Structure 1
Amino acid sequence: MPKIKSMSYCRQWVQNRTDIRRGYQTRHSKTIKGTGTVPSSETAKETNTTDYLNNDEADDISEENPNSNENSGDLVYASGQSYYCDDNSEEAVVQVPTHHSSPSFAYKLREWAIHGNIELTQVSKLLRILVYDGKHVELPLDARTLLHTPRSINVRPMDNGHYVHLGIKDYLNTLFKSFATEISNLKLPYLQLSFNMDGTPISTSGGANFWPILGSLSNIFTGQPDVFMVGIFSGLQKPESYNNYLLEFVEELKDLMKNGFLWDGIVHSIQIKAIICDAPAMAFVKAIKSHGGYYSCSKCYIKGEPVVLSSGKKTKIVFPDIHSEKRTDETFRARKIMPSGEDDTGHHMNKERSVLEQLPIDMIKTFPVDKMHLVDEGIVKKIINIWLGKPGPQKLQASKVTKINQHLEQCYSYVPSDFQRKSRSFKHAHFFKASECRVLLLYTGPIVLKNVLSKQTYEHFMTLSLAIRILTSPFYYVKYNEYAHSLLVHFVKKFIKLYGKQNATYNVHGLLHLAEDAKNLGPLDENSCYLYEAFIKIIKKKLHSFNCPLQQCSNRMSELKQLQPNSSECRNKIKKLGTVHQGIKELIHPLDGNKFMTASFFNFTIQTNRKSDNCVMLSSKRVIQVVCFKKEIHDIHIEGHVFVSSNVLSNINRELYKSFYYLIGNFEDEISKFSLTRDSIICKMCCLPANDENTFFVVPVNHTLMYS
């Protein structure tokens, strides 16, 4: 083959390759005399076909004509098909090699690039290597084609920034495209959606912010990421107008709630379960006073009291009262006169109402108090700061703090893998995240703080721990709802006595409304910001630079949406939330013969080789440290050590702690065998060292409880 110009050859090669994919007739009637094969890596030097791989100009091939590879990501050439190249003086016919990759290779490559947050330039370089090697000629040369990156983005100016609306219907179309049959089989009366609005800084070094509107399905579990993006605002500050920010979202939601979502001739009703925000974000979208105002409580008419701080220069608003008249949807919309006789303008920001009031929702019950920010990041962290902070009656001695730290470090490796973060020692208390505070409140705190705090302070802490355990449990939050409320009332009253009136802030008062929110909407963790905060973290990780962050975010969300799950693989994963799903889904990691090391359940996993994940409770109320799972012909057995309880957590309310399985004891040495047909697993247990390696404290992992 005669020597040809590298760039001319390359551009023509790409164009003809694209023509074949689109099914076009070749554009040239003449052929070039040649060998009839694609140049191999060894012969490429002779024909100069490898020159463009190292040529700076070649990096712009896909940029020169970015539309040339449209919809080509999953196409595969037929064996023996020909394509044509052109040169000014000679002609040749070049045969596509018969070897090609499997049809799923492009999808796997796309999945790797998206989930790995690989930069587009690096993906494009990899694609060129794969294509020019001759073994994966079905792949596009440009990463944007492979990932189905949108050609345009509908970014519109909004007040002090820009906004992109992705839409609720767009997500529902994607969902039903994958799971229409499975969702229909669930026979749901309606699709229930929850939403979240919040602001987050894009980086710690700049002033740019994101304000995403996020949504999630509240009554279906698909086995896929449950959060989707409805819209997102980007600017140096939060949106100036809450109504401009929410308008498109509200208009689309009004249409869906009125007309339903149509798929395949079937109309699916849409309901809003909750709009979940932290206190500042809720105040912004509802157009009410924030948590520092006198009438800032979104649930009742309590009036805050100003308290002068010890410095004498600043004041803060506290809420020491326990009982106050409750707000309702009617009084909120009517701007009802308050019990004191004052107009309710003290609660509402201005005369312009929030567009959220146009939705057919309860403006009080639909907006729950967020447990993540109020309890975990709020109350728990506040108490820890008092214990470690300025001198006072509740400040802990250094020796006690050291004892707590040592026990927390001992418990670290025992905390179940269900939690993203484990409790670090109090040395890092200033950096504690919400999930660490949650683990401390419900799991490590009850045993680590025992015999270290004063009896009065410890029982006060346990009052909050038990109340939150009840309200976050899928099987206790209804049965013991009133009791949990009484515990929280007692906690707030005692809090003022122990820690002072000056610490009875908005968060402390908010505890009084948690039981009612749980009664209306379900367990607290199902209506908290944990799910959305995790998704926001994913969004921020997908930004490769701070140039055009809104466009980057929109493109990455669209690419992520294109990863259509295989319905056949997910058919057994999709579930109706709120129902009991018992039994082992899968046994993996065989030991020998019919014995297995790992068992997967609906929402947790038991791993016998990890001391943090090998403890369960059976329906007979036995606690077992599992050694292995044994598969029989018609049954599955578990072998393990039985827990023998020698004490409960506290002699005060002894029977109460026993009924919630706050147990202390040790495990038998001999191995026992149990049939899961007769004695099924009802929950995973958290097993922590009590005082030494031979005595343990066990308590149920709340979200895994299948029934009580």
Structure 2
Amino acid sequence: METNVPKAAVSRLLVRLQPLYPDLPCSIKYLLARPKLIYTNMEGGLYVHFNNWIPALKNILLYNYHQLCGEVSYCLLVNIDGLPLFKHSPDYKLYPILVSVYKLSMRPICVGVYSSEKSQHRQLPSNDLYLKHFLHDVNSLKSAPLKNGNLTFKINESEVYICDAPCRSALKCIKSHSGYNSCERCTVHGSYESVAGHVSFNNANSASSRTNENFNLQIHQSHHKGASVLVQHGVKMVSHFILDYMHMCCLGVTKRLLTWWKGVNPHHEAKLSRISIQSLNQKILDIRDYIPVEFNRKMRPMSELSYWKAAEFRLFMLYAGMVILKDRRIISKARYTHFLKFCVAMRFLINSSTPDDKTEAGSILLVEFCEEAAVLYGSSFISYNVHSVTHLPQDYQLFGSLDQVSCFPFESYLGILKNCLHSGYKPLQQVSGYIHHQNENNVATAQFKDESFIKGHVSGVAKSGVGQNLRQFQDLPVNHYKKANLFNNSVLSVKSVADCTIRFENSISKVVDICSCNNEKFLVIQKYRKVKNLFKRPIHSKSVGVFKVSKLSSNLDVISLNDRIVKCFLLPLEEGFVAVEMIHST
């Protein structure tokens, strides 16, 4: 299913293999025997619960902590999101309950799925019904922790929910993101913008912060629509509902900026000219060959902006936008500096090693970004998402890098679920069969890999005097945790201009060869002689891992893979390049 091999092809293969292996079934129907699952009618739809999600969770915890003993605490991350199954039919929509473990690299586990079967029932059912089985299982994990020999896994008292704004409002029973009192972190009261047709949030400086205790007591009645079952369950209804940066910043603020520049309001001065749009499109095309392999999507032209995915907006927000918009033919200096405040602040909050003083600076930059946005783009620009970014530092203080508590891994799993459908006949039954088998065979993604080098070659550069026992390799998959302290399975390649730039200590270098000698692994590099700031306002770019480099040295240096190495995203400029440290890991 993961490789989209047709079932008919698998059946034909089984028929050919049966003479050699008589015990094999002759059809995929018998190979993947459909499990006996119970489907419950629930408010105009069906719900199915998977009892094997707890054993799958135990296997993943054992995989990561089998070398420890005693008590190990873990925190569950819960994601709930709507999944439209068919592009031109609104009749079916799935609402899976997905869980993951905080700070573990793993594929999400599906707990249960609700399927709406009528267009008038495309919303989540009531919380007490929808979450009944899941909350029962979580309570059982709290009362009877998972054990394996001398190892005990203790779940945290309150799980963390990572959802988009509509699902958060449904789970918390609060006003939706279009309401006047919809902000989840402060008591700001919005005002209706008749021209824009939505509520904007200005003058939030005088608003007080919401707390878990005030939420449980419903002190601010205008914020609530009812009582959530999660309050009785002990969930921290304010601090443990993450403001997901994928929806809020990538699909929210970044998309809003690009949409306004493209011309959501033809008469607004923020609209770019036709020549500026052409320059922006050309810049996007120019960097396509420089995008590293870690990015599964490349940005498309502005004419296809409505089809951009969250990964493309993240690429623009964290890496490419700072370089592309440097060209004054595209946007003015004031708007570029304003955009940089948002980019710099997000790089602070997504980088897991940001010091406390930089976190505070990021918080200040986000407040300035919102205040200046009202001046540059008008008060109608301050939507729910734009205002809410000022509260993101609160999540960083509790959970660290926002990339550790984002929806990106869950969205990838939803895409897999959608691809396993073969027809419109009983879609819930098709998806549930796949999920059941996945839970049975769910294995955590390996964080530590023994393999270091691939694709050996003898045509590379080797520094003289290194030794006679020299093996050279073209490509090196470097694991962030074990081999070279790089981010999540980054790949260095001497054959690709997009994957051969690193930051080592205070220098930016190009990897020209990857070698091993006497069981020691090292890189042969050339350093850039000139390393400058790309910008100095609102902060020096070097402090956020953005370097303007030029004049590659002809001297070769050798560095060990035991040293701290960070892979960089290399982008072309008219004079030289810009190296941007890669900070995201999902």
TM-score (norm 1): 0.75
- What SS does structure 2 have at the residue aligned with 1:115? coil
The aligned counterpart of 1:697 is 578
Distance 1:405 1:666 in 2: 25
Write the mapping of 1:373-452 to structure 2, written as runs, cut at 5 A. 373-389=247-263, 390-452=266-328
Distance 1:598 1:535 in 2: 28
The aligned counterpart of 2:109 is 228
**1:548 partner amino acid:** K
Cα offset, 1:669, TM superposition = 5.0
The aligned counterpart of 1:280 is 166
**2:95 partner amino acid:** W
> Is 1:117 aligned to 2:117, yes or no?
no
Q: More displaced, 258-267 or 479-488? A: 258-267
Distance 1:130 1:299 in 2: 60
Cα offset, 1:358, TM superposition = 2.2
Distance 1:552 1:467 in 2: 43
Distance 2:372 2:528 in 1: 35
Distance 1:462 1:214 in 2: 35
1:294/1:305 contact within 8 Å kept: yes
> Is 1:587 aligned to 2:453, yes or no?
yes
Distance 2:545 2:332 in 1: 23
Cα offset, 1:186, TM superposition = 4.3
The one of 74, 79, 86 aligned to 1:203:
86
Write the mapping of 1:347-366 to structure 2, written as runs, cut at 5 A. 347-350=223-226, 353-366=227-240
The one of 152, 163, 182 aligned to 2:47:
163
The aligned counterpart of 1:528 is 406
The aligned counterpart of 1:316 is 198
The aligned counterpart of 2:13 is 126
Distance 2:426 2:405 in 1: 32
Q: Aligned pair in 2 of structure 1 residues 698, 666: CA closer, same or farther (>3 Å)?
A: same
Task: Give deviations 1:328-380, integer Å, cap 9, x for gaps.
Answer: 111101011xxxxxxx3321113xx2211122231110001111111111111
Cα offset, 1:293, TM superposition = 0.8
Q: Hey, which of these two has a bigger chunk of strand by percent? A: 2
Q: Aligned pair in 2 of structure 1 residues 418, 355: CA closer, same or farther (>3 Å)?
A: same
> Is 1:612 aligned to 2:498, yes or no?
yes
Distance 2:64 2:201 in 1: 49
Cα offset, 1:585, TM superposition = 5.3
Q: Aligned pair in 2 of structure 1 residues 399, 138: CA closer, same or farther (>3 Å)?
A: same
Q: Aligned pair in 2 of structure 1 residues 210, 385: CA closer, same or farther (>3 Å)?
A: same
Distance 2:186 2:543 in 1: 33
Cα offset, 1:535, TM superposition = 0.5
**2:190 partner amino acid:** G
Task: Give deviations 1:68-122, integer Å, cap 9, x for gaps.
Answer: xxxxxxxxxxxxxxxxxxxxxxxxxxxxxxxxxxxxxxxxxxxxxx322344454
Task: Give deviations 1:112-139, integer Å, cap 9, x for gaps.
Answer: xx322344454333312321xx222231
2:94/2:115 contact within 8 Å kept: yes
Task: Give deviations 1:479-499, integer Å, cap 9, x for gaps.
Answer: 521111000000000000001
The ranges of structure 1 where at least 4 consecutive aligned residues each deviate by more than 6 angstroms after the TM superposition are: none
Write the mapping of 1:143-154 to structure 2, written as runs, cut at 5 A. 143-150=28-35, 152-154=36-38
Q: Aligned pair in 2 of structure 1 residues 346, 394: CA closer, same or farther (>3 Å)?
A: same
Larger radius of gyration: 1
**1:285 partner amino acid:** L
Distance 1:328 1:360 in 2: 14
Distance 1:186 1:703 in 2: 28
Cα offset, 1:148, TM superposition = 4.7
The one of 147, 153, 159 aligned to 1:268:
153
Q: More displaced, 186-195 or 367-376? A: 186-195
Which gives a bigger RCO, structure 1 or 2 (Cα 8 Å, sep 6+)?
2
Distance 1:164 1:703 in 2: 34
The one of 72, 86, 95 aligned to 1:189:
72
Distance 1:305 1:430 in 2: 27
Q: Aligned pair in 2 of structure 1 residues 479, 165: CA closer, same or farther (>3 Å)?
A: farther
The one of 542, 547, 566 aligned to 1:658:
542
The one of 242, 258, 283 aligned to 1:368:
242
- What SS does structure 2 have at the residue aligned with 1:379? helix
Distance 1:369 1:704 in 2: 18
> Is 1:173 aligned to 2:55, yes or no?
yes
**1:257 partner amino acid:** K
Cα offset, 1:171, TM superposition = 2.9
Task: Give deviations 1:287-314, integer Å, cap 9, x for gaps.
Answer: 111001111111111111112116xxxx
How many residues align? The count is 554
The aligned counterpart of 2:441 is 563
- What SS does structure 2 have at the residue aligned with 1:269? strand
Distance 2:363 2:61 in 1: 40
The aligned counterpart of 1:632 is 517
Distance 2:150 2:515 in 1: 48
Distance 2:81 2:60 in 1: 29
| Gapped regions of structure 1 (runs ≥ 5) | 1-113, 337-343, 576-582
Q: Aligned pair in 2 of structure 1 residues 246, 460: CA closer, same or farther (>3 Å)?
A: same
**2:305 partner amino acid:** A
TM-score (norm 2): 0.89
Distance 1:530 1:380 in 2: 16
Q: Aligned pair in 2 of structure 1 residues 172, 244: CA closer, same or farther (>3 Å)?
A: closer
Distance 2:508 2:280 in 1: 27
State the percentage of identical aligned residues. 26
Q: Aligned pair in 2 of structure 1 residues 174, 242: CA closer, same or farther (>3 Å)?
A: closer
The aligned counterpart of 1:597 is 474
- What SS does structure 2 have at the residue aligned with 1:229? strand
Q: Aligned pair in 2 of structure 1 residues 299, 178: CA closer, same or farther (>3 Å)?
A: closer
- What SS does structure 1 have at the residue aligned with 2:305? helix
Write the mapping of 1:285-296 to structure 2, written as runs, cut at 5 A. 285-296=171-182
Q: Aligned pair in 2 of structure 1 residues 408, 644: CA closer, same or farther (>3 Å)?
A: farther
